[in-house]
Each structure stands twice: as C-alpha cells, then as structure tokens.
Amino acid sequence: MGIFIDHGMGVVIGETTIIGDGATIYQGATLGGTGKETGKRHPTLGNNVMIGAGAKILGNINIGHNTRIGANSVLLHSVPDNCTVVGIPGRVVTRRSKSPSVSAEVVCQSSRTNGMEKKLPQLTTQDFTMNQPALDTSYLDQVSNSGGGSKDLMTQKVIRELDFQI
C-alpha cells in the first residue's frame, strides 16, 4: 500500500523511523529524534496515520493505527490507535472507535438510512411542529390592518419566527 508524502518539501524522516502502510505525511513534518537516545531513536507510525503540515513527532514513540496528528503539533509521547492529536505539546482531543475504512462507513451509513426509512411512515405532522414556537399573530394582524402592510415585511417576520427543527 505504501505511504504518501504530499508536498514533500521540508519533510524530515529519521533513519530509524518505521512508517506503516497508508500513512500520509504533509509538508514540513518531522519524524525525528530528541538527541538523548541511541539505537532506535525515531518514531514508529502505525497504518493509516496522517501527519499534518509542520508537525513534529520526536523520540522513540509509537503512533497508533488510524491516528491523525494536527498541523504544527509537537508530540513527545506515544499515542493509542484511532486518536486525533493537536497542540504543543500534543494532546489527544478525539478517540474514535469506528473503523476509518470507506467500506465500513458505507455499511454504517446504510444501516442508519434503513432505520430512518422504517420510521418515516410513522411520523406525523405533529412530530415536525411540536417544538416550534407559536407564531406571533399580533404582528400579522397589525400588518394586515394597517392597510398598507408590506407582504415582504410579513414574510420576513414569519421566516424569522419559524425555526424548523426537522
């Protein structure tokens, strides 16, 4: 499957770095050492890892499968699978339990769609209107009784007051 280095200018990959299949590395990223270690001193990336532009991953650390490292993040510790890491120092902000594969997402979305299609015939008009605010009819009366009420003004008022939450 290989790796993809997008706009490879300035990318640094240390000599003991291990990169899993399907990794994407953006410009200016560094997979380097800290200068404190000998032997294996560079990061190990799992499969399907994405390294954002300018990110620095330093030291003999492991980056889990399906993990994303945000642009300009600085990471000095290992990260588990299926995470999103951002910041300086890098911290986990999201943990995903789903598989990022396209086919898994299609199956999941199809299942949700089938569930909604089964519920659709059971929905009533009340389901769509029960959370709607009552329309301020005094404004409509005022516009219609003024004799010169603007239909555009009335339409704008109605649109502002109706906040559909379907």
3-state helix/strand/coil string of 128-162: HHCCCCCCCHHHHHHHHHCCCCCHHHHHHHHHHHC
DSSP 3-state percent helix, strand, coil across the chain (nearest 5): 30, 20, 50
CA distance 100 to 27: 23
Instruction: Confirm whether 33 is domain-assigned.
Output: yes
Instruction: Confirm whether 126 is domain-assigned.
Output: no
Instruction: Confirm whether 114 is domain-assigned.
Output: no
DSSP state letters, 36-65 = S--SS-S-EE-TT-EE-TT-EEESS-EE-T
Cα–Cα distances in angstroms (integers) from residue 161 to residues 56, 130, 135, in the given order: 50, 15, 7
pTM for this predicted structure? 0.57
Residue 30 has pLDDT above 80, yes or no: yes
Lay out the sheet containing 24-26: strands in order across.
4-6, 24-26, 50-51, 68-69, 83-86, 91-95
* Same domain, residue pair 64 and 139: no
Q: How many other C-beta atoms can be found within 10 angstroms of the C-beta atom of residue 44?
A: 19
* Same domain, residue pair 135 and 91: no
3-state secondary structure of 22: coil
Instruction: Confirm whether 72 is domain-assigned.
Output: yes
Instruction: Confirm whether 118 is domain-assigned.
Output: no
Of 78-82, 90-94, 99-103, 148-152, the range with the lowest mean pLDDT is 148-152
* Phi, psi angle pair for 117, to nearest 5°: -65, -35
Domain assignment of residue 158, given as a range:
131-166
Instruction: Confirm whether 89 is domain-assigned.
Output: yes
Residue 64 has pLDDT above 90, yes or no: yes
| Domain boundary, last residue among 34, 67, 95 | 95
User: How many structural domains are present in the chain?
Assistant: 2
Instruction: Confirm whether 103 is domain-assigned.
Output: no
Q: What is the CATH number of the domain that holds 85?
A: 2.160.10.10
Q: What does the pLDDT read at residue 2? A: 85
* Same domain, residue pair 89 and 148: no
| Domain boundary, last residue among 44, 71, 95 | 95
Q: What is the pLDDT of residues 87-123, one digit of tens each?
A: 999 999 988 875 556 666 666 677 777 777 777 777 7
Crossing angle for the helix pair 151-161 and 137-145, to the nearest 10 degrees: 180
CA distance 143 to 38: 81
Instruction: Confirm whether 165 is domain-assigned.
Output: yes
| Domain boundary, last residue among 47, 80, 95 | 95
